[in-house]
C-alpha cells in the first residue's frame, strides 16, 4: 500500500511502460514478418502466443536477476574483446536476425521474379520456435532497461504486462498493414537488418546509441508514409487518364 502512494513509483511505472512499448517495436516488426507467412486463420493465434512468450521471457528474467547478473561476466575473448554470456546471446541473436531478414528479402524478390507471392510453406510450430528464439534476445534488452529504471520488481512486472497488452492490441493492425504493403514490408525487413547489426555491435562492445537507431527508423517510416499517400492520390488520376485515353482511342 505504501508503494501505491509513492509518486516516484508511479513515475517509474509510467516511464518504464512507455519505454517497454518503444523497445517492443522491433519485436512487433519481427512478429509481423513471420506471422505473415502463416495461413490467415493461424495468424491471430501466433501473434498472441508470440507476444505471450515475450512477456513470460521478460518476467522470468526479472525473477532470476542473480542468474542474469552472471551473464555479464566474461566467458572468453574474441577479437580482443571479452565476451560474456549476454554478449554471446546478443551476437547470435543479431546474426539470426541478419540471416532471417536477408532470406525474407530474397524470398520476396525471387518470388516476384518467378511469378510467386514470395511466401514459402512454413509450419506453425516452426514460426513459434523462431519467435521464441528472438524473444530471448529482445527480452535481455528490455529487462536490462527495466532494472536500470525501477527499484521494485513488482513495478517492472506490471509495466511489462501493460506494455505487452498494448502491443497485443496493436499487433494485428501493424501485421496486416505490413503484409498488404510490399514496400512497407521491405522497409520493415531493412529495419530488422539494422537492428541485427546493432545487436552484433553491442555484443562486441561497440555501443551505438539507441536514439540514433530509432531516429533513423522513424525518419524512414515517415518518408514511406508520405510515399504511400502520394501513390494513393496518384492512382485515381492515373485511372482517369487511362480511361480518357481508351475513349479517345
pLDDT of residue 118: 46
pLDDT band at 1 (very low <50, low <70, confident <90, very high): low
Name the DSSP class of 39: -
What sign does the CA torsion over 147, 150, 153, 157 have? negative
pLDDT band at 179 (very low <50, low <70, confident <90, very high): confident
pLDDT at 69 over 70: no
Contacts 24+ apart (CB under 8 A), 140-144: 140/61, 140/86, 140/89, 140/90, 141/23, 142/20, 142/23, 142/24, 142/58, 143/58, 143/61, 143/62, 143/68
pLDDT band at 3 (very low <50, low <70, confident <90, very high): low
Task: Please write the tens of the pLDDT for every residue from 158-176.
Answer: 888 888 888 888 888 888 8
Task: Please write the tens of the pLDDT for every residue from 104-146.
Answer: 888 877 764 444 444 555 688 888 888 888 887 777 777 776 7
Task: Please write the tens of the pLDDT for every residue from 182-241.
Answer: 888 888 888 888 888 888 888 888 888 877 887 888 888 888 888 888 877 766 655 556
Helix, strand and coil content of the chain, in percent to the nearest 5, comes to: 80, 5, 15
Predicted structure pTM score: 0.71
pLDDT of residue 182: 81
pLDDT of residue 83: 85
Query: Which three cell numbers, joined as nine digits, stand for 242?
Result: 487511362
Task: Using CB atoms within 10 Å of the CB of residue 127, give its burial: 0 to 12 exposed, 13 to 18 middle, 19+ buried.
Answer: buried
- Taking the CA atoms of residue 59, residue 34, residue 205 and residue 14 in that order, the dihedral angle to the nearest 10 degrees is -40
Kindly report the average pLDDT of the chain as a whole number.
78
Choice among 13-22, 70-79, 142-151, 158-167 with the minimum mean pLDDT: 142-151
pLDDT at 51 over 50: yes
pLDDT of residue 242: 53
Amino acid at each position: 500500500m505504501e508503494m501505491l502512494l509513492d509518486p516516484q513509483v508511479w513515475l517509474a511505472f509510467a516511464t518504464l511502460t512507455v519505454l517497454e512499448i518503444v523497445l517492443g517495436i522491433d519485436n512487433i516488426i519481427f512478429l509481423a514478418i513471420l506471422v505473415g507467412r502463416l495461413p490467415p486463420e493461424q495468424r491471430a493465434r501466433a501473434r498472441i502466443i508470440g507476444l505471450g512468450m515475450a512477456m513470460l521471457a521478460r518476467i522470468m528474467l526479472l525473477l532470476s536477476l542473480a542468474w542474469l547478473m552472471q551473464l555479464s561476466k566474461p566467458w572468453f575473448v574474441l577479437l580482443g574483446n571479452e565476451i560474456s554470456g549476454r554478449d554471446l546471446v546478443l551476437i547470435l541473436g543479431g546474426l539470426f536476425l541478419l540471416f532471417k531478414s536477408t532470406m525474407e528479402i530474397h524470398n520476396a524478390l525471387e518470388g516476384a521474379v518467378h511469378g510467386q507471392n514470395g511466401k514459402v510453406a512454413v509450419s506453425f510450430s516452426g514460426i513459434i520456435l523462431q519467435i521464441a528464439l528472438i524473444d530471448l534476445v529482445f527480452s535481455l534488452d528490455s529487462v536490462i532497461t527495466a532494472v536500470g529504471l525501477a527499484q521494485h520488481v513488482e513495478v517492472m512486472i506490471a509495466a511489462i504486462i501493460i506494455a505487452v497488452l498494448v502491443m497485443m492490441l496493436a499487433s494485428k493492425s501493424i501485421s496486416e498493414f505490413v503484409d498488404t504493403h510490399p514496400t512497407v514490408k521491405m522497409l520493415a525487413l531493412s529495419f530488422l537488418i539494422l537492428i541485427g547489426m546493432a545487436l552484433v555491435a553491442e555484443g562486441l562492445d561497440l555501443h551505438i546509441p539507441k536514439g540514433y537507431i530509432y531516429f533513423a527508423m522513424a525518419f524512414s517510416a515517415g518518408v514511406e508514409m508520405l510515399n504511400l499517400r502520394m501513390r494513393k492520390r496518384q492512382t485515381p488520376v492515373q485511372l482517369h487518364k487511362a480511361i480518357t485515353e481508351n475513349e479517345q482511342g
